[in-house]
Amino acid sequence: MQTIERELVAGTRWSRRRVSPGFLYVLPSLLFVVVFFLIPLAMVIWMSLHDWPLLGEPAYTGLDNYAALLGDSTFWDGLWFTTKYTILVTPPIFICAYILAHLVNSKMRWVGLFRTIYFLPVVIGLGTSSLLWVWLFNDQVGFFSFILSHLGVIKEPVLTTPNTSLAGVIVMVVWKTVGFTMVLLLVGMQAIPTELYEAAKIDGATWWPIQFFITIPLLRRTIALALIISVVGSFLAFDQFFIMTGGGPNNSTVTVVYWIYRASFTYFKLGYGSALSLLLMVILTAISVLQLVVLREPETY
Amino acid sequence: MKKYIVPVLFAIVAGVSARAEDIITFWVRDSDQAIVDPLVKAYNARGGTNVKLSVIPAMQFVTKFATSIAGGSPPDVVAIDLIYVPAFSKAGQMTDLTVQAKALPFFDKLSPSHIRLAAYEGKLYAVPFSAEASVLVYNTDLFTKAGLDSKHPPANFAEIEQDAQKITSLGADTKGFYFSGSCAGCNVFTMLPLVWASGGDILSEDGKTATVDNNAVRSTLSLYRKMWEAGYIPQAAQGDNGTNFFTGFATGKVGMAGLGAFAIGLLKEKYPNIHFDVAPLPGQNGGSASFAGGDSIGIPKGSKKVKEAWEFIQWCLQDDTQVNEFAKHGSIPVRTDIAESAYAKLDPRYVVVAKAMATGKTPYSTKYNELLNDPNGPWLGMVQTAVFGKGVDEAVKEAQEKFTKILGAK
Amino acid sequence: MVRVARKSGGKVYKIAALYGVCCGIAFLFVLPLFWSFITSLKKPADANASPPNLLPSTLTLENYTRLLHYGDGIFNYFGNSLVVAMLTVIGVVFLSTLAGYGFSRFSFPGKNVLFVMILITLMIPFQSILTPLFLVLRTLSLQNTLVGLSLVNTTFQLPFSVFMMRNSFESVPRDLDNAAAIDGCDSKALLTRVLLPIVLPGVITVGLFAFVASWNEFLAALIFLTDADKYTLPIMLLNAQSGYLGTVDWGLMQAGIFISVLPCAILFLLLQRYYISALIAGSIK
């Protein structure tokens, strides 16, 4: 590094301006981040202090939006629902991912094929996947509805009652995202030295204790990472609810981001939408920090 | 390579701007697609300005339209559900058409409901485009099978309930009544008239106060609830967000449903096996009412082709266009002077609808979307709570509060 | 000897069971996509049949040909998605490679602060700055443009991409730089002629992620594109699904879904290891 710098300082015009070339390389990215991220971030705070209609002139209202937020029962219901959804969807994803990671962590033939198949839904995109499953759950032409009603599991269309529509969305999300978590766990698993397993087996340990005492603790960091990604992703859910349930039935599946979208683009209250956005950011930061603290790796082995 | 850039760019720019001279963009909602496709084709066939049509799903229409205005790229002409015109006029987003509209020879024969909703503070911001009115459609075969007189549709709530019960008792999945339980707009169209016919309303005349808590509302909601609990309505109705608004009835297994003029054409064309008739939507003790709906057409602010846009609008309102395009494809003409005559030749059932429209009502509110059409709004919430949920009283109380809160906000 | 026989007998069962389970699960995973594909090959009326028929009575490509006339034609929407994705890829690759190089090989005041600043965007999702983003794009006259959407997509791919590229550069030994300097390379040549070929896997990974993320982007496209002819594939499909009066054309939709899924699926199958390598790098963080 020193060599280049010296050479550049000696040989180029930049030395006269004393702007580090490194900075110039980084500058374009910085510009993007400033224009499309930092400025909007500052604007969110500014806009949340206004009544800012989509069509019309903004008016300064101070903390009125926040006061309204406190009394907005639909928002709090939405926040509660988002939390409930996150809590309900995360365990299935992780349990399935864990099992799948184990299955493909063997050296049998075609394990690569299985791993590919399990991962494939991840690249489909949440929007497209939602559209696919809305069709599968459709009570007239959907295969899943057909099978489920024949098995007597459901009597009404899946996406019409609060509990079954949530269950349906969760099934779709698990299908679509488990591959990603599976690979993260797989990578972690493959880093565990096999000697540990050999030693445990010699000591007579069976499958479950091995998992509990060896694999999971050693995967702690990977699980923590996967957990943070998954939880934040679940909290930001929008596509699946917008497409599959439309927030219904009767507002029971509206998530926080959905509410922000509605506030800003259906009710055209950009100021209020900004206040909601700010609150979302605060909550997300709190969740991430909480997770990092709770899952922090103790000094082990 | 570089020397080609300038000429190519020039050609592209020239080509684009040349095309731009001839094209006006026109947005409609998908509910109008059946009439608008041939309409636009006919206009484009005349030569001159070309209309480029964009069909937007009804549920996203207001969002997309407002966003496009806010984003600086609105369409040149827009056919928007007439109930939204007050909101957009108030926001100053529509071009003032008072002068042009009043210059039309048939101005005072234009649908009164449309004109009323297109006016804001004395100026006119849109003119009628397509008209709809809600009526009760009923399956005459099922009526006869159930021992009912198919020439005698229900004229009050008690008869609706009785007829529904008789039809449901035919068994084999036959049900007496259908409505889309998760569709806000559908129920404003077909359930609200029952409230009106029973002598009540949910909004004051000027649209500024909520009058949800009254007997007409309660008895209408109770009627629906009774029918639901007694099983006269198919289960699937609860979750129907409007996708099956029409097909619910078109299955042939439903006795009655609130629909509109569009249904007449569709049934005749696609479901000829279903024999049906139409009747005005009745009130609790008789009387009738209808929701006068449809689209109004206007020119968003920001359109650079106001003159061409108005030419197109004017063409739509002409006599022969009204008869040959609108009436022919099953849409009620918005000109009361031609409505009945145009329809009398087509099908007597249309006359019922045309009459209903002439005396129909339309709620006026600058907060229409939030209150009445929003799938997450208080109107649908009230219907769902009353019919499927906690009950009528609870629903009405909640709705009155929510309505008032929304109307109170700026 | 008996012990060995029993051990191998047990093992065969175990392996067979393992295969069985894997196959069963794989079957369940593929089933939705398979059904969708099969339905896209049915005649329209057959595809709308209720209750659904598993297998088509006749195979036909009708749904695909009808997509050519849907709205502005499937090629238009496919093209839009492609333009946005390619612009995003180009933007992301270009910016993150330069930035990764800058962060790795140079020192300048505030370097660490700036690096953290770029990474911070990972913590804060774009969903929470949608509202002002709309206004920013409008001010730049980029609202309702494919370019505007690409810029937004690019920005939100940057943190991950810059991180990846910096890591890629870091893992290349400095001796190469010195050797190149001796040969008279300046920083630009060092980047393009020496380092770039080595960090190419990182570039491919970053490009792949950018493509997939942009191709599948839904919410941003929903808000930032208002002209119907500019819609990307997910939005077009959304509109196709909002059929009026119960007239959703399911066969057409499945054909559309298939076309939406195909590019990313193909890219993924071809470039799997780059995807995995990204996740590995992420874990190490």
Tokens representing B194 are 């029952």
Q: Say what the pLDDT of residue A1 is.
A: 45
Q: Say what the pLDDT of residue B347 is.
A: 78
Position A243 pLDDT exceeds 60: yes
Position C178 pLDDT exceeds 90: no
ipTM value for the complex: 0.85
C73 near A CB under 8 A: no
| Residue appearing with tokens 């859910």 | A237
- Could you tell me which chain B residue has the CA closest to the CA of C133? B71
Interface subset of B 157-216, CB within 8 angstroms of A: 182
Nearest CA to B106 out of B329, B321, B359 is that of B321
Same domain, A55 and A98: no
Interface subset of C 140-199, CB within 8 angstroms of A: 151-152, 154-156, 158, 162, 174, 177-178, 181, 186-187, 190
| Whole-number Å distance between alpha carbons of B87 and B63 | 13
Same domain, A158 and A33: no
- Could you tell me which chain A residue has the CA closest to the CA of C187? A4
- CB atoms under 10 Å from CB of B87, counted, come to 21
Of A18-22, A66-70, B36-40, C83-87, which gets the smallest average pLDDT?
A18-22
Same domain, A154 and A237: yes
- Nearest CB neighbour to B71, from listed C144, C229, C239: C144
Between chain B and chain C, the number of residue pairs with CB atoms below 8 A apart is 62
Position A300 pLDDT exceeds 50: no
Degrees (nearest 5) of the Cα angle B378, B380, B382?
65
Helix (H) or strand (E) holding B223: helix B215-229
Minimum distance, in Å, between the CA of residue A265 and any CA atom of chain B: 6
Q: Say what the pLDDT of residue C247 is.
A: 65
What is the band of A301 on the pLDDT scale with cuts at 50, 70, 90?
very low
Same domain, A49 and A132: no
Nearest CA to B154 out of B278, B41, B303 is that of B278
pLDDT cut 70: percent of chain C above it: 93
DSSP, res B94: B
Between chain A and chain B, the number of residue pairs with CB atoms below 8 A apart is 65
Q: Say what the pLDDT of residue C189 is.
A: 77
Contact status, residue B387 vs residue B225, Cβ threshold 8 Å: yes
Compute the radius of gyration of chain A from its Cα atoms: 25
Tokens representing C97 are 């490679």
Contact status, residue C103 vs residue C164, Cβ threshold 8 Å: no
Q: What is the tens place of the pLDDT at every residue in C31-44? A: 999 999 988 888 88
The sign one gets for the Cα dihedral B150, B154, B160, B163 is negative
| Residue appearing with tokens 């485009």 | B129
Domain C72-284: give its CATH code. 1.10.3720.10
- The total domain count for chain A is 2
- Could you tell me which chain C residue has the CA closest to the CA of A283? C124
Q: Say what the pLDDT of residue B59 is.
A: 77
B376 near A CB under 8 A: yes
Q: What is the tens place of the pLDDT at every residue in B335-351? A: 877 777 777 677 788 88
Q: Average of pLDDT values for A190-199?
A: 81
Q: Average of pLDDT values for B4-10?
A: 55
Which CATH number covers residue A267? 1.10.3720.10
Q: Is A156 exposed, middle or buried, given 0-12, 13-18 or 19+ CB atoms closer than 10 A?
A: middle
Residue contact C134–B71, C-beta within 8 A:
yes
| Residue appearing with tokens 């720019």 | B13
Position C4 pLDDT exceeds 70: no
Q: Say what the pLDDT of residue A10 is.
A: 46
Position A234 pLDDT exceeds 50: yes
**SS3 call for A56:** coil
3-class secondary structure per residue, B261-284: HHHHHHHHHHCCCCCEEEECEECC
Residue contact B56–C246, C-beta within 8 A:
no
Residue contact C246–B247, C-beta within 8 A:
yes
What is the band of B6 on the pLDDT scale with cuts at 50, 70, 90?
low
| Whole-number Å distance between alpha carbons of C138 and B70 | 8
Same domain, A8 and A97: no
| Whole-number Å distance between alpha carbons of B74 and A274 | 24
- Dmax over CA atoms of chain B, in Å, equals 85
Q: Say what the pLDDT of residue A110 is.
A: 79
Contact status, residue C92 vs residue C206, Cβ threshold 8 Å: yes
**SS3 call for A247:** coil
Beta-bridge partner residues of B133:
B292
Chain B residues whose beta carbon lies within 8 Å of the beta carbon of residue C244:
30-31, 33, 57-58
B95 near A CB under 8 A: no
| Whole-number Å distance between alpha carbons of A191 and A220 | 12
**Of A20, A38, A65, at which residue does a domain stop?**
A65
- Nearest CB neighbour to B68, from listed C144, C239, C242: C144
Nearby residues of A124 by Cβ (< 8 Å), 6 or more positions away: A132, A176, C216, C261, C264, C265
Q: State the best of B53, B56, B60, B73 to mutate against chain C, taking most chain C CBs within 10 Å.
A: B73
Same domain, A54 and A134: no
Chain C residues whose beta carbon lies within 8 Å of the beta carbon of residue B262:
245
Q: What is the dihedral of CA B301, B305, B310, B316, to 10 degrees?
A: -110
For chain C, the average pLDDT equals 85
Q: Say what the pLDDT of residue A15 is.
A: 44
Contact status, residue C29 vs residue A117, Cβ threshold 8 Å: yes
Q: Is residue A91 part of a domain?
A: yes
- Could you tell me which chain C residue has the CA closest to the CA of A137? C32
Residue contact B63–A266, C-beta within 8 A:
yes
Beta-bridge partner residues of B300:
B94
| Whole-number Å distance between alpha carbons of B193 and B195 | 5
Position B365 pLDDT exceeds 60: yes
Asked if the peptide bond before residue C51 counts as cis, ω within 30 degrees of 0, the response is: yes
| Chains with 3 or more CB pairs under 8 A to chain A | B, C
What is the band of A3 on the pLDDT scale with cuts at 50, 70, 90?
very low
Q: Is A84 exposed, middle or buried, given 0-12, 13-18 or 19+ CB atoms closer than 10 A?
A: exposed
Q: Average of pLDDT values for B236-261?
A: 85
Residue contact B238–A249, C-beta within 8 A:
yes
Same domain, A196 and A134: yes
Q: Average of pLDDT values for B204-221?
A: 88
Q: What is the tens place of the pLDDT at every residue in A72-122? A: 888 899 999 999 999 999 999 999 999 998 888 877 777 888 888 999 999
Position C5 pLDDT exceeds 50: no
Same domain, A56 and A159: no
More confident residue, C12 or C155: C155
- Nearest CB neighbour to B67, from listed C226, C228, C229: C226
Q: Average of pLDDT values for A228-235?
A: 90
- CB atoms under 10 Å from CB of A54, counted, come to 23
Interface subset of A 90-119, CB within 8 angstroms of C: 100, 103-104, 106, 108, 111, 113-114, 116-119
Chain C residues whose beta carbon lies within 8 Å of the beta carbon of residue A82:
none
Nearest CA to C243 out of B267, A137, B337, B241 is that of B241
**Of A65, A90, A111, at which residue does a domain stop?**
A65
Same domain, A158 and A265: yes
DSSP, res A166: H
Q: Say what the pLDDT of residue B3 is.
A: 55
Q: Is A150 exposed, middle or buried, given 0-12, 13-18 or 19+ CB atoms closer than 10 A?
A: exposed
Q: What is the tens place of the pLDDT at every residue in B47-77? A: 888 899 988 887 788 888 988 888 888 999 9
Same domain, A126 and A229: yes
Of A94-108, A180-194, A204-218, B133-147, which gets the smallest average pLDDT?
A204-218
Nearest CA to B382 out of B367, B396, B403, B401 is that of B396
Position C244 pLDDT exceeds 70: no
Q: Is residue A210 part of a domain?
A: yes
Same domain, A197 and A228: yes
Residue contact C138–B72, C-beta within 8 A:
yes
Q: Say what the pLDDT of residue C285 is.
A: 52
Chain A residues whose beta carbon lies within 8 Å of the beta carbon of residue B241:
246, 248
pLDDT cut 90: percent of chain C above it: 29
Domain that holds residue A54: 3-65
Q: Is residue A301 part of a domain?
A: no
Same domain, A216 and A79: yes
**Of A50, A65, A80, at which residue does a domain stop?**
A65
3-class secondary structure per residue, chain C: CHHHHHHHHHHHHHHHHHHHHHHHHHHHHHHHHHHHHHHHCCCHHHHCCCCCCCCCCCCCCHHHHHHCCCCCCHHHHHHHHHHHHHHHHHHHHHHHHHHHHHHHHCCCCCHHHHHHHHHHHHHCCHHHHHHHHHHHHHHCCCCCCHHHHHHHHHHHHHHHHHHHHHHHHHCCCHHHHHHHHHCCCCHHHHHHHHHHHHHHHHHHHHHHHHHHHHHHCCHHHHHHCCCHHHCCHHHHHHHHHCCHHHCCCHHHHHHHHHHHHHHHHHHHHHCHHHHHHHHHHHHHC
Residue contact B250–C141, C-beta within 8 A:
no
Q: What is the tens place of the pLDDT at every residue in A141-159? A: 888 888 888 888 777 777 7
**Helix segments in B235-388, DSSP class H:** 247-250, 261-270, 306-317, 319-321, 336-346, 348-358, 368, 378-388
Asked if the peptide bond before residue C132 counts as cis, ω within 30 degrees of 0, the response is: no
